[in-house]
Amino acid sequence: MKIFIQNYINILITFKDKFCRIYIFAIFLISIIIHLYISSIGWNNFLLDQYGFRQTQTAITTYYVIKEGFKINYITPILGAPWSIPFEFPLFQWIVASAVIIFKTPIDQTGRFISLLFFYLSLIPLGAILKTYLKNNNFVLIILSLILLNPIYLFWSRTFMIESLALFFGILFCWLAIKLFQTNKLRFLILVSVIGCLAALVKITTFIVLCAPTGFFFIYYFWKEKNNMFWNINIIKKYLLYGILIFIIPLAISIIWNNFSDTQKEMNPLANGFLTSNDLTKWNFGTIKQKTSITVWSKILKNSLIPYQTFGTTDLFSFAFPNLFLLLIPFLYFFKPYRKEILFLLIFFLCGPIIFTNLYSVHTYYFYANNFFLSILLGFFILSLYKNDNFKIKYFGIFILFPFILLSLFSQYKEYYYSYQVNNIYSIIQATDTIKKITKPNDVILVYGQDWNPSFSYYAQRKAIMNRQKLPLNNKIMQESIQMVGKISALIVSNINDMKFINDQIQYLKFNETPIYSDAQTSIFLPK
């Protein structure tokens, strides 16, 4: 009788485990379908939703790659001649431009597609890393589902930005490094160094974030070999070589590129003293005051999954990581299987905002580089329940908590990002269409009142001098910039109420005082 009962229990457990596998796989498929569907929302909209500034900066570079050719000193023609103000290495722009040229597809949609493609490709090496560690496909699918429905990856993966390409190279870099440490094969050493260089060139901030877990595995495998063979000089030499090729060379390549881009920017009167690496140091890294500010860190944590709600919300699922972290603390005390992993994941996540504090407090899209650590962290939290011997706790984690967290993540996306996708923004389109009609393709426009936002220049398809500081045209810098251009074909004024200043600039240019076009925000003036 006792044997019969035990066999019955074993059959029941086997059946439950098989059902769990089917259930988890179904959740993963549903997550992919939801991600694909959400990515299609607003697919044909203008690139003017959240951070349209950054999206059109990438797009205008791509447009002029197609128009004027592939070159290292690529142009972003918004601050006057000589037009080149390079930031990242233009690999993403070149890929999009190549696709547009080959397939004759629209630039905006091609950029979205390439961005989305590299997000999905990044899940392959990430899944391989997780499989190596967890040894269980179900566990991997749980974590990938959490990443797929993470609001950061739901929204930003379908934007015209370099983030997904940088993330793909960063995760691939980490995976190749692990393969190298495990096998010591030359091909992995060469590959990880090359991919590391590409990751650093495409986006150095993302590369540095991914250096954190890669550095952890570097130390782990070195320490493992050292303990097995004591202080073997050959091991030290090997890992010294690894360190140089994996970390030092990519950083050195990045510095070389940075110096090159600074040289290009210094040639531009309006970019020099504004966009060089020295000028942007405080902007990129933040200040000590920011790094120690509770207010700044509160904003950073909110930005990791914007927005977060309190428990008093009317939406049952509208609370994300800040509130889930409160739940994590007591659960971590009782369930220990992945306590160390969760701690390290939290450290990896924090590396980005600790180093680039200001960037993470200002821009939500910077979390594209590190927010997957939070999704993995939540995955390990669920797995710690799943590995519990108590059936009630085990299945609570899979059948209750797992879908609840997924719904919470989706709710955060809907709360904040959905409105950006569903609403197409036309605010500048009529004005840019007017510019295209009244000027020639090679004409240069002068823009006041839009900072150095490339959106107007991109949709007008005209090179521009964007006077971000509202400098008068008799200013020495402005005179130098205009002289380098040769001729201004149109003056665009936006969001400026100082009529005397506007009239002074019109008279200086000898333009008509009556605008050829005017709306609530923008007026366009032409030469007499």
Residue 394 confidence (pLDDT): 81
Render the burial of 187-218: b for 16+ CB within 10 Å, e for the rest.
ebbebbbbbbbbbbbbbbbbbbbbbbbbbebb
Structure confidence by residue, pLDDT tens digits, 255-314: 999 999 999 999 999 998 889 999 999 999 999 999 999 989 888 888 886 444 433 343
Locus of tokens 């299609």 = 40
Spatial separation of the C-alpha atoms in residues 204 and 225, rounded to whole Å: 30
Pick 307 or 211 by higher pLDDT. 211
Spatial separation of the C-alpha atoms in residues 253 and 363, rounded to whole Å: 26
Range of weakest confidence among 98-107, 150-159, 272-281:
272-281
Query: Is this model's pTM higher than 0.95 or not?
Result: no
| pLDDT of 346 higher than 60 | yes
Strands 463-467 and 444-448: parallel
DSSP state, 490? E
Pick 343 or 211 by higher pLDDT. 211
| Average pLDDT rounded to a whole number, residues 238-255 | 96
78 burial type by CB count under 10 A (0-12 exposed, 13-18 middle, 19+ buried) = buried
Structure confidence by residue, pLDDT tens digits, 373-385: 999 998 998 898 8
Residue 503 confidence (pLDDT): 93
Spatial separation of the C-alpha atoms in residues 490 and 474, rounded to whole Å: 17
Locus of tokens 């997904």 = 164
Token pair, residue 417, equals: 């990002």
Contact call for residues 147 and 345 (beta carbons, < 8 A): no
Residue 335 confidence (pLDDT): 59
Rg (CA), the chain: 26
Mapped onto helix, strand or coil, the DSSP state of residue 327 is helix
Identify the band that residue 206 occupies on the pLDDT scale cut at 50, 70 and 90: very high
Pick 384 or 442 by higher pLDDT. 442
Domain ranges (residues) in the chain: 11-290+317-418, 429-525
Mean pLDDT for the chain overall:
89
Residue 324 confidence (pLDDT): 53
CB atoms within 10 A of CB 487: 8
Please write down the HEC assignment for all residues of 249-262: HHHHHHHHHHHHHH
What is each CA distance from 345 to 323, 353, 381, in whole angstroms? 18, 14, 11
Q: Who's near 417: CB < 8 A, 6+ residues apart?
A: 50, 151, 154, 155
Locus of tokens 């073997």 = 232
CB atoms within 10 A of CB 501: 14
Element (H, E) at 181: helix 163-183
Structure confidence by residue, pLDDT tens digits, 185-201: 999 999 999 999 999 99
| pLDDT of 141 higher than 70 | yes
Range of weakest confidence among 137-141, 169-173, 310-314, 497-501:
310-314
| pLDDT of 213 higher than 60 | yes
Residue 331 confidence (pLDDT): 58
Instruction: Locate the DSSP E strands across 371-476.
Output: 444-448, 463-467
| Average pLDDT rounded to a whole number, residues 97-118 | 98
| pLDDT of 519 higher than 70 | yes
Spatial separation of the C-alpha atoms in residues 481 and 487, rounded to whole Å: 10
Residue 147 confidence (pLDDT): 97
Contact call for residues 365 and 416 (beta carbons, < 8 A): no
* Residue 522 phi, psi dihedral angles, 5° rounding: -125, 140
